[in-house]
Structure 1
């Protein structure tokens, strides 16, 4: 089921959009924290975003730029300002389409369906995982933090993915090695230690301390928010 994030601060409009989208069998969620839209985006990991231009704290152009740092998910802007400058800005910022308020909900749904088909009929879904502001993009083996993108090796990507998927739980070294063997890479105890050390260094250098904790004799874990 495709997931669609609605970033619209008018509750009546957002509610109408959500109801219409759900009536077509899609999952839809309204953004609630307009100061931290990127974290909501990463947590929900939608396949499409409906994004208003005029928002509290930061406008839609800002959030489009932040999303584009971590994802190529299709974005449809919605706004009552349909002047040519706004439309040009939408395209330059990486938007995929534009809806002018007030718009017919059926037209909106048709645009959503067409964009989903064009995007996903020939490609796969991008998986995002988020914790403490760090956003892991499993699809392209990188993580982002405060606008900075860091590339990971295949093993580092798989280790971080496994730990983030099991957030709050201890993952044994044996479990991590089994996960890495799934990629046809033979990993022994020493190799795993080296990979975890390098991964930690990259996360530390990005500005996040103590992201991966060691549980002596048990394994590694990513804990809750500090």
Structure 2
């Protein structure tokens, strides 16, 4: 398995050096570019671990750590020169899994990353999320997060949306959706599917997601 690591560090020299070093160990590392929306970068890349600086443009690392925690349990390691006790305590309180003070040896950073990944994924497993157009579907608690709004979904609404997001860009037939729901003991007919999709669309629109689910008449639905 190739682990993906998101590097949230605004010093590009440091970030690129870390990225290059991690790549030599077989990790898929990516340096964040849009510091105004780290959550979007996280949702698009879906990393297994995040390296997070504290001092960043727009919002600090504490803020982004707390935002990531709303959608994922992926571990976060803070890397910062602000390594006094108060900053370390704050990092932990905001959901960090470890803290490494700058300057540091890349060998030490790699060892910490390996330890956290092993601890997280060997025993706890990976938190599963799906993302499309800024909307994040959390498959652990069956909720959708969009623009800081949490959309509560019924069992069938969640399953329908999950099927469509797993096949984003492709039309999923009504028969396929109903067959998938039947596999999970949700015995719904054609009319019930229409009602569920209508209610789901209404919830998405209330959250600001318009035209998220497209109907292909006589065929099925898709998200695009």
* Corresponding residue for residue 115 of structure 1: 116
Which shows bigger deviation, 162-171 or 30-39? Answer: 162-171
* Residue 187 of structure 2 is aligned to residue 186 of structure 1: yes
TM-score by length of 1: 0.92
- Residue 133 of structure 1 and its aligned partner are, at CA, apart by 1.9
CA contact (8 A) 2:171 2:222 kept: yes
Q: Tell me the alpha carbon deviations over residues 90-149 of structure 1, each in whole angstroms, 9 at most, x when there is no partner.
A: 011111111111111111111111111111112221222222221111232111112222
- Residue 38 of structure 1 and its aligned partner are, at CA, apart by 0.6
Q: Give the Cα separation in 2 of the matches to 1:177 and 1:162.
A: 10
Q: Give the Cα separation in 1 of the matches to 2:223 and 2:138.
A: 17
The CA RMSD over aligned residues, in Å, is 1.6
Length, aligned pairs only: 223
Q: Give the Cα separation in 2 of the matches to 1:106 and 1:153.
A: 47
CA contact (8 A) 1:76 1:97 kept: yes
Going from structure 1 to structure 2, the CA distance change for 1:89 and 1:198 (only over 3 Å counts) comes to same
CA contact (8 A) 2:169 2:223 kept: yes
CA contact (8 A) 1:43 1:128 kept: no
- Residue 169 of structure 1 and its aligned partner are, at CA, apart by 2.4
CA contact (8 A) 2:130 2:138 kept: yes
Q: Which runs of 5+ in 1 are unaligned?
A: none
CA contact (8 A) 2:5 2:29 kept: yes
Map residues 77-226 of structure 1 onto 2, 5 A cutoff: 77-223=78-224
Q: Tell me the alpha carbon deviations over residues 32-57 of structure 1, each in whole angstroms, 9 at most, x when there is no partner.
A: 21112111101111111101111112
TM-score by length of 2: 0.92
Q: Give the Cα separation in 1 of the matches to 2:71 and 2:153.
A: 14
* Corresponding residue for residue 3 of structure 1: 4
- Residue 173 of structure 1 and its aligned partner are, at CA, apart by 0.6
CA contact (8 A) 1:43 1:129 kept: no
